[in-house]
Structure 1
Amino acid sequence: MTIPAAREAVLRQTADTLLTARRTASPISDLPVALHPATEAEAFAVQDVMAEAYRPVAGYKVGARSPEHEPFFAPMPAAWMGENGALFRGENHRLRGVEAEICFRIGTALPPRALPYTRDEVVAAIGSCHPAIEILESAYNDPTSVSRECMLADLQMHGGFVAGPAVPNWQTIDWSQEQVTLSADGAVRVENTGSNPGGSDLIRLLVYLANEGATRTGGLKHGDWITTGSWTGVTWTSHGTEVVANFSHAGRVSLQFASEKL
């Protein structure tokens, strides 16, 4: 979808407003009405402007509202990524929302091309599979109170990412039967089985990203991280909390938020 130049200028103002709110840790209640993205395409255009400001991008979060819905995705800045067990601190970790996810790392680049990549080609390009935790943050005081398009524009609430160890023989895992727990300071907050809203076919999401998503990503690059949607919904935590996601076959990953004193 082509966005008229005049509308592009408005959407750049939208991106500037969201970037300022995030960078200064001064959340807003909502965007001015004149700056609201009217469609998903406009929301994604705002994401792309924000991605330029946060470069380099080291991967993408991709998901779908159901197994039948078309996927959607947002960029993940490299600066917001941490090692397994990392400590996250600072004013930009205000909401401290977390989700347990399954992610993949691209081993062989998939540059844009006219002929769509097949499922087998995408699978062959995957270097490894990992358990992951995504941190959710926002430019909004309460991101659940704004429109879906406004939420999508704000990098789909992305605020950080940690991956655990690579999963051996991940191709043998039946994701429809995979169990997961999400714990905060040792207390299990969520326990689910086969609970990704986009369904158990996680590769479908990567095929979409490699093909239809290539116009925005410029193609998937060697080393890109692709995380494929929440298995636990959003769990809101607090200062000093240690978060652990544990999958029955895909393994364990953790992170910690700094205490207020740090």
Structure 2
Amino acid sequence: MNPSLSLGRLLAQAFTSHTQIDTPPEAVLPREARAAYDAQHELVAALGDTIGGWKVGAKTPDGPRQGAPLPRHGVWLDDTGVYTADARRPCGLELEFAFRFGRRFEPAERPYPDAEVEAAIAEVGATIEVVASRFAAFPAVDRLLQLADLQNHGALAAGEFVPYRADLPFVSPALSFTFNGQPLFQGVPANPAGDPRRLLSWLVNHATVERGVAITPDQLVTCGSYVGLVNVAGSGVAVGQIGGLPPVTLTVA
């Protein structure tokens, strides 16, 4: 690890070398959320990548929201995803709803109204997010460091997107989640944020107003797990189906 690098570049270095950071230098530790968000975008740029999607979540239905841009090279569409796991650590997976908009939201000085954002939802699909940290102490990592680290994002597999339906059971969907045919989750599905659609206007305005970054129709927005975090070991195929949507598949190598 090069101690002279900024936090975003340290994270990018760990991302590309598949290594973990033991103790980040004191000088790069984020002291506020804005610094962590700065590091997110520096990380994506240092990877030589662009934004292929976003993640957004909250710990309670009325709690504060936070999110992260997702590097395009790690957003896999139409069940093409193959994630090479580190054999030394379990591979963490989450099953989520994701959305796409039917229009572009340009950088703006004033927030877009909630109703305008909701009216722009065009498509919905199921995703599997790989949870991975660039910090060796994970999960015992400072919350702002986790935020800078793209909220512990490893990769994202997306199934087929279909036209948006407002009547889908977004709060309490029926779902199945298996790995090599064995169930990964048998509890009651729930997103800690409640209805994930409440997260979308925050994400749009965070990107366009706070960060000056456009949200485009090709980018997906994945909105938090309904199964918590489940760990798998070894290679295999994870298959998730949620809310009657087409299934999503991720191969873990």
Whether these two folds match at TM > 0.5 is yes
* Unpaired runs of at least 5, structure 2: none
Which of 227, 230, 234 is matched with 1:235 structurally? 230
Determine the C-alpha separation between the residues in 1 that align with 2:4 and 2:246.
41
* Unpaired runs of at least 5, structure 1: 1-9
Determine the C-alpha separation between the residues in 2 that align with 1:26 and 1:203.
35
Asked if the contact 1:37–1:43 (Cα under 8 Å) also holds between the matched residues in 2, the reply is yes
1:60 aligns with 2:54: yes
Determine the C-alpha separation between the residues in 1 that align with 2:70 and 2:141.
21
Asked if the contact 1:11–1:35 (Cα under 8 Å) also holds between the matched residues in 2, the reply is no
Letter of the 1:130 counterpart: G
Task: Note the C-alpha offset of 1:43.
Answer: 1.4
1:163 corresponds in structure 2 to 158
Task: Note the C-alpha offset of 1:169.
Answer: 5.2
Asked if the contact 2:12–2:44 (Cα under 8 Å) also holds between the matched residues in 1, the reply is no
Task: Note the C-alpha offset of 1:139.
Answer: 1.2
Distance 1:86 1:148, change over 3 A: same
Asked if the contact 2:122–2:163 (Cα under 8 Å) also holds between the matched residues in 1, the reply is no
1:1-262 equivalent positions in 2, closer than 5 A: 13-54=6-47, 55-90=49-84, 96-168=91-163, 170-200=165-195, 202-214=196-208, 215-216=210-211, 218-258=213-253
Q: Secondary structure at the match of 2:227?
A: coil
Determine the C-alpha separation between the residues in 2 that align with 1:195 and 1:91.
27
Task: Note the C-alpha offset of 1:88.
Answer: 1.7
Determine the C-alpha separation between the residues in 2 that align with 1:177 and 1:20.
39
Q: Deviations over 1:114-169 (max 9, x none)?
A: 44322332123222000111111221224202111111111111111111122455
TM-score (ref. length: structure 1): 0.85
Q: Secondary structure at the match of 1:123?
A: helix
Determine the C-alpha separation between the residues in 2 that align with 1:74 and 1:34.
22
Distance 1:213 1:56, change over 3 A: closer
Greater fraction of residues in helix? 1
Task: Note the C-alpha offset of 1:217.
Answer: 5.3
Q: Secondary structure at the match of 1:86?
A: coil
* Runs of 4+ displaced beyond 6 Å: 91-94
Q: Secondary structure at the match of 2:186?
A: strand
Asked if the contact 2:122–2:164 (Cα under 8 Å) also holds between the matched residues in 1, the reply is no
Distance 1:211 1:189, change over 3 A: same
Asked if the contact 2:83–2:155 (Cα under 8 Å) also holds between the matched residues in 1, the reply is no
How many corresponding residue pairs? 248
